[in-house]
Amino acid sequence: MTFIHIAIFLPVIAAIAIAIIYRYVKDVHLGWFVLPVPAVIAAYLFSLIPTVSTDGPIHQNLNLMPRIGMNFDVYIDGLGLLFAILISGIGALVVLYSIGYLSKEEKLGNFYVYLLIFMTAMLGIVLNDNVLMLYFFWELTSISSFLLIAFWYTKDKSIYGAQKSMLITFFGGFMMLGGFIVLYIITGTFSIREMIGNVDLIIDSNLAPFAVVLILLGAFTKSAQFPFYIWLPDAMEAPTPVSAYLHSATMVKAGLYLVARFTPVFAFSELWVWIILLGGLITLVWASFNAIKQDDLKGVLAFSTVSQLGLIMSLLGVGALAVATGANEEIFTVAVVAAVFHIINHATFKGSLFMVAGILDHETGTRSIRKLGGLLTLMPISFTMTLVTALSMAGIPPFNGFLSKELFLEAMFEISHANFSALADWSVLFPILGIVGSIFTFVYSLKLIHGVFFGDRSYDTPKEPHEAPALLLISPIILSALVIIFGLFPNILSGTIIDPAAMSILGTDTALNTQISHWHGFNNPALWATVAIIVIGGVMYIFRNSWMFIYDYHKEHFTLNYLYDQGLLYSQLGSKKATDGVMTGFFRDYMVYIFGFFVLFSIITTFFTGLPITFDDFADVGIQDMVLVIIILISLAIIMMTRSRMVSIIMLGAIGFSMALFFAFFRAPDLALTQLSIETVTTTLFLVCFYHLPKKSKHEETIKFKFTNFIISVGVGAVVILFGLSAYSNRLFESISQFHIENVYELAAGGNMVNVILVDFRGYDTLMETLVFGIAGIGIYALMKAKVKGKDDNNEEHA
Amino acid sequence: MELVTIILSGILIASATYLILSKSVLRIIIGISILSHGVHLMILTMGQLKRGNVPVLDDSVSTYTDPLPQALILTAIVISFALTSFSLILLLRNYKELGTDNTEDMKGVPHGD
């Protein structure tokens, strides 16, 4: 346990305190108590930057379950530190923003406890070398995300969105665990660094493709990649601070983190590169295309987030080429730098955009772009922030989004130089997809700015629009300022954060010395691509009304959401049907299952193990024994056949008394006595009950019913006989009886061995037996005396 | 003798199973009683039958019948008696409340219907 471990768990520890404070402090907004937590962690992590970038990764192990290899192995390298700073830094801003956003009447205790749990989970994912712990924290983020989406749990949409996100991300997380296990089978370790060290084993293994697909399922579901992105737009039902934090800046980037972290492991795999590259680009194009038609501000931002995540994903795909074809291939390391840079940039501009969307919602009462408009003069600060951040997202200079977008386009053009798989043959495809996605991005960015702040002032907003209070503005202003600062001076990041992170993705120790510049000369294809994007995008936005009709062709029945809803519906119906088919509610059916499986498994087991039976060492059979056997058999036959209850009760008594005689013959006088007296009482009881029961009862039993019962009972009987014989012929060890016989007088000073065993050697058993007897007695008393509500009169009559 | 008792207990248990699978609660209870008889016989057989003397200490006797199964069965008899009586009273009460001793008719009826 070191200070770093405590720092990771600090939010959860604080959550306990917050829950208590929430109960007693009502005057101050709870957020003020939460705010120091991420702020302190962020400050601490910032202080680690010089250490990590000069001295290399920090490594602190804490053994949790070393036997199964699950240890909290904290490992802070450039990549982990970058994510951790984003998590705590944006976390602090989001908490500050939430103080203005959520009123004190909301369930703030729940909100902040979930948020703090999420922080710990997220820090645990990125500052950790053990995949089992990674999985643990991974699912914890899904759980806290579920709780936060369902924060307004009275709304159906919130519940729907929460369930959807949970099902999809849990599915992915579970697949990912499978991938980790496959990797464990190959390499014999749960440590990511050791896996990277054993990459030769993974290259040689046939199982590697399974690991690739399973781990990518985890990454794609979490990072909302096509076709799993459908949960993210529905997750927008969460309060806006949550959307800004979990569903834009941090949690959805966990998938990117996973891909980046495993790049040194899987870069050799063609499957890995193709899936990430194409999956990312398809997500980019498809989600940005869909973002344009959204009317809800947060809907636009949700699809935008999905598409930007796709962009980063595809960059990581190109980055894998750098590892696969040698880390010195500078043209591909550009992609990794771009990916890391864009992760930072996206967090700044999208976080800010979400917060502005929340402000608009808060101050106008609606998030519908159609209802908003002409807010420029009413909300100038919000407008400025939207302008800066949306243009950054669109890739317009001089903002930071421009720099990383240009690096992205450059990387797409560079694929043509790739000497890997068939990538070079398809190299035309990648820049085109990248440019098309960027054009759509440009269009919806314009729509955000123009649709909300320009045009006619609309008057059908539920609230009178006015600029937000300072509390809501601070956080987005800070983020917008960062957009400008990073845009103008990108190299304050490159040496300190980007390079160490890129180096850990590439798995190399050689310094990169990245210099991000705004101008690459006229020969750069990315420059012309940017110009083309702006021109085409601008034209498309101006003439938007003439092509928007293509969205109408997207039929309801062909969407992934429809597939998900139907899948969910039918899996629920199917499981209900299956459950109803098995769980009939009839006692007899359950007994059939029990006995049936007893017979079935006994047969299967004996089939594999054999059942040795020897026929020797039997005592003689006397005449009197045979007489008893025959009496019992006849009584049984009568019970089976008779319809009269009286007869079966008497026959049951006959069996009982025969048993007592058996005991007498087999030299068990105590048993014989007990059996005699008990049998007498039991028979009396049966007769008393008989008196109260109806004369005739209708139990129509079909032949099929009887036949099933017959087969099962014969099976049970046969199994009992076989197992009995086998147990009798195979004595595996000496019985303890001899000890009892020898010590009955010395230890217990008694003569009757059975009695001594009962009251002395096994005294506690007998004590418990009396307990059972007592409980049965209480039960009987209660059954006789208790009255059922509403049926009192009826009872009196019978009693 | 042991062969006979093992087979007999098998038959007892088979009949008990058949009765337990039937619809009438009374037959189920009779089945449970028969089941316990079968099990007692089986346990007793496992300690071997008719070997040695009655397990009461006697200076003139050197071998005794195995006392352990007897102790087990003694407990079992009492427990099964408790079970049988409880089931019987349950049946009685059930019949008074529901008016039937047929398990098919006892399937969980929603409250208030």
Domain range annotation of chain B: 2-53+62-102
On chain B, the residues whose CB falls within 8 A of the CB of A766 are 75
Mean pLDDT in residue range A562-584: 90
Among residues B36, B11, B5, the alpha carbon closest in space to that of A718 is found at: B11
Write out A138-176 in H/E/C secondary structure: HHHHHHHHHHHHCCCCCCHHHHHHHHHHHHHHHHHHHHH
Q: What is the pLDDT of residue A114?
A: 93
Q: Which residue has the higher pLDDT, A716 or A334?
A: A716
Q: Which residue has the higher pLDDT, A634 or A558?
A: A634
- Residue A592, both tokens: 């059939």
On chain B, the residues whose CB falls within 8 A of the CB of A788 are 97
Best mutation target, B49, B79, B80, B87, to test chain A (most A CBs within 10 A): B49
Contact between A277 and A223 (Cβ < 8 Å): no
Write the ipTM: 0.93
The answer to whether residue A712 scores a pLDDT higher than 90 is yes
Contact between A459 and A371 (Cβ < 8 Å): no
HSE-up of A535 (CA within 13 Å, CB side)?
Answer: 6
Residue B29 Cα, gap to closest chain A Cα (Å): 10
Q: How confident is the model at residue A171 (pLDDT cuts 50, 70, 90)?
A: very high
The answer to whether residue A523 scores a pLDDT higher than 90 is no
Mean pLDDT in residue range A545-568: 81
Portion 69-98 of B in contact with A at CB < 8 A: 70-71, 73-75, 77-79, 81-86, 88-93, 95-97
Residue A659 Cα, gap to closest chain B Cα (Å): 7
Chain-chain contact of A737 with B53 (C-beta, under 8 angstroms): no
Of A621, A709, A766, the CB nearest to B4: A621
Q: What does CATH list as the number for B2-53+62-102?
A: 1.10.287.3510
Of B55, B83, B104, the CB nearest to A754: B55
**Phi/psi class of residue A417: alpha, beta or left (left: φ > 0; alpha: ψ in -120 to 50)?**
alpha
Handedness of CA A322, A326, A330, A333 (dihedral sign): positive
Chain-chain contact of A735 with B4 (C-beta, under 8 angstroms): no
Mean pLDDT in residue range A93-101: 93
The answer to whether residue A424 scores a pLDDT higher than 50 is yes
Contact between A345 and A480 (Cβ < 8 Å): no
Share of chain A above pLDDT 90, in %: 48
The answer to whether residue A233 scores a pLDDT higher than 50 is yes
Q: What is the pLDDT of residue A3?
A: 83
The answer to whether residue A665 scores a pLDDT higher than 50 is yes
Instruction: Kindly report, residue by residue over A373-402, the tens digit of the pLDDT.
Output: 888 888 889 999 999 999 999 988 889 989
Residue A732 Cα, gap to closest chain B Cα (Å): 13
Residue B105 Cα, gap to closest chain A Cα (Å): 9
Q: What is the pLDDT of residue A217?
A: 94
Mean pLDDT in residue range A710-714: 93
Q: What is the pLDDT of residue A788?
A: 64
Q: What is the pLDDT of residue B54?
A: 87
Mean pLDDT in residue range A10-16: 92
Nearest CA in chain A to B31: A652
Q: How confident is the model at residue A795 (pLDDT cuts 50, 70, 90)?
A: very low
Nearest CA in chain B to A646: B26
Nearest CA in chain B to A780: B86
- What's chain A's average pLDDT? 88
Q: Residue count of chain A, please give it.
A: 799
Portion 39-68 of B in contact with A at CB < 8 A: 40-42, 44-58, 64-68
Chain-chain contact of B106 with A587 (C-beta, under 8 angstroms): yes
The answer to whether residue A560 scores a pLDDT higher than 90 is no
Torsion of CA A378, A384, A390, A391, to 10 degrees: 130
Q: What is the pLDDT of residue B111?
A: 47
Mean pLDDT in residue range A209-234: 92
Contact between A207 and A321 (Cβ < 8 Å): no
Torsion of CA A444, A445, A451, A452, to 10 degrees: 130
- Residue A302, both tokens: 């949700």
Q: Which residue has the higher pLDDT, A525 or B70?
A: B70
Cite the DSSP H helix spans in A153-269. Answer: 156-187, 192-197, 199-204, 208-222, 231-234, 240-244, 254-266
Residue A64 Cα, gap to closest chain B Cα (Å): 45
Terminal-to-terminal C-alpha distance of chain A: 70
Handedness of CA A555, A561, A567, A573 (dihedral sign): negative
Chain-chain contact of A717 with B4 (C-beta, under 8 angstroms): no
The answer to whether residue A790 scores a pLDDT higher than 60 is no
The answer to whether residue A796 scores a pLDDT higher than 60 is no
Neighbours of A577 (CB within 10 A): 10
The amino acid that residue A167 corresponds to is L
Contact between A636 and B12 (Cβ < 8 Å): yes
Q: What is the pLDDT of residue A611?
A: 85
pTM of the entire predicted model: 0.78
Contact between A288 and A437 (Cβ < 8 Å): yes
Least confident span in A407-421, A433-447, A591-605: A407-421
- Give the mean pLDDT per block of 10 residues along chain B (113 residues): 92 94 89 94 89 85 88 92 92 82 67 44
Of A584, A685, A699, the CB nearest to B85: A685
Chain-chain contact of B79 with A752 (C-beta, under 8 angstroms): no
The answer to whether residue A344 scores a pLDDT higher than 70 is yes
Residue pointed to by tokens 């750098």: A322
- Residue A559, both tokens: 């969407």
Terminal-to-terminal C-alpha distance of chain B: 57
Q: What is the pLDDT of residue A789?
A: 58
Q: How far apart (Å, rounded) are the C-alpha atoms in residues A22 and A25?
A: 6
On chain A, the residues whose CB falls within 8 A of the CB of B1 are 618-622, 625
Nearest CA in chain B to A698: B102
On chain B, the residues whose CB falls within 8 A of the CB of A789 are none
Nearest CA in chain B to A710: B18
Residue B78 Cα, gap to closest chain A Cα (Å): 8
Strands in A33-127 per DSSP E: 58-65, 70-76
Residue A689 Cα, gap to closest chain B Cα (Å): 7
Q: What is the pLDDT of residue A92?
A: 94
Mean pLDDT in residue range A510-529: 79
Residue B59 Cα, gap to closest chain A Cα (Å): 10
Q: What is the pLDDT of residue A164?
A: 92
Q: Are strands A70-76 and A58-65 parallel, antiparallel or unpaired?
A: antiparallel
On chain A, the residues whose CB falls within 8 A of the CB of B91 are 689, 693
Q: What is the pLDDT of residue A695?
A: 62
Least confident span in A6-15, A184-193, A686-695: A686-695
Q: What is the pLDDT of residue B113?
A: 40
Q: What is the pLDDT of residue A794?
A: 47
Cite the DSSP H helix spans in chain B. Answer: 2-20, 25-46, 67-98
Mean pLDDT in residue range A66-93: 90
User: Given CB atoms, is B15 within the 8 Å cutoff of chain A?
Assistant: yes
On chain B, the residues whose CB falls within 8 A of the CB of A720 are 9-10, 13-14, 38, 42
Instruction: Kindly report, residue by residue over A105-146, the tens digit of the pLDDT.
Output: 888 889 999 999 999 999 999 999 999 999 999 999 999 999
Mean pLDDT in residue range A643-660: 91
